[in-house]
Amino acid sequence: MSVMVVTGTGTEVGKTVVTAAVAAAALAAGRSVAVLKPTQTGVGPGEVGDVAEVLRLAGPVTGVELARFPEPLAPATAARRAGLAPVSPQEIARAAAELAASHDLVLVEGAGGLLVRLDDAGATLADVAGLLDAPVLIVAQAGLGTLNTTELTAEALRSRGLHCTGVVIGSWPAEPDLAMRCNLSDLPEVAGVGLLGAVPEGAGAMPGQTFREAARSWLTPELGGTWDGAVPCGALR
């Protein structure tokens, strides 16, 4: 694949850190990588956004941000309140296609969940994936409640004829509770796709070099990693 869309089951589930891990794994394999953040919300001019964080963690990727809105709201709402033009799915698809012409892998990181509105016409990240004919990676929470939100996201993708690459847990704790341990086997069942990894809790605070050295061990070979899924609790701590 040359373009992959990264979405979450909601906000603050670890999309940026997972995006960085996938980028780091691809770089380690000798691939050129670009990360596209169509809309960054809740960050003011000059402040560090998600693209800068991916660069810090993953290393030398090409980072592109199309629009920035200061209030931490859905992109459509944030753009309207800021008096700025929203970013359309067509603009995002064009930017991704341009990056794909000169990079082996382009990761398009959405804002919030799959169906968060990009503009007042109701366009979403799902529309972007459709225009690009790109697979979608779901980043999910580890604990109670994640089965419902993950299944809803996967069902929304299927209903639109979109391909889901798999699920990655965005923050896996050192001491998982019963629900989390059960979710390791339940998530693939409800989503209908494989569990492709789990990023340790706190990975986003690691120094970049430490993150890059460990990133492949958190992901399965489908995402360029080395985890075989045989002993998930031990492998994912």
**Residues annotated as catalytic (active site), given as ranges:** 37
Q: How far is CA 141 from CA 2, 63, 146, 170, 200, in A?
A: 26, 25, 6, 6, 12
Query: What does the block give as tokens for 34?
Result: 């670009």
**d(Cα 224, Cα 171) in Å, to the nearest integer?**
19
Q: At what angle do helices 146-159 and 125-132 cross, to 10 degrees?
A: 40
For CA atoms 153, 158, 162, 166, give the dihedral sign. Answer: positive
**Percentages (nearest 5) of helix, strand, coil residues in the chain:** 45, 20, 35
Query: What does the block give as tokens for 211?
Result: 């993150």
Q: How far is CA 37 from CA 12, 52, 92, 180, in A?
A: 15, 10, 9, 29
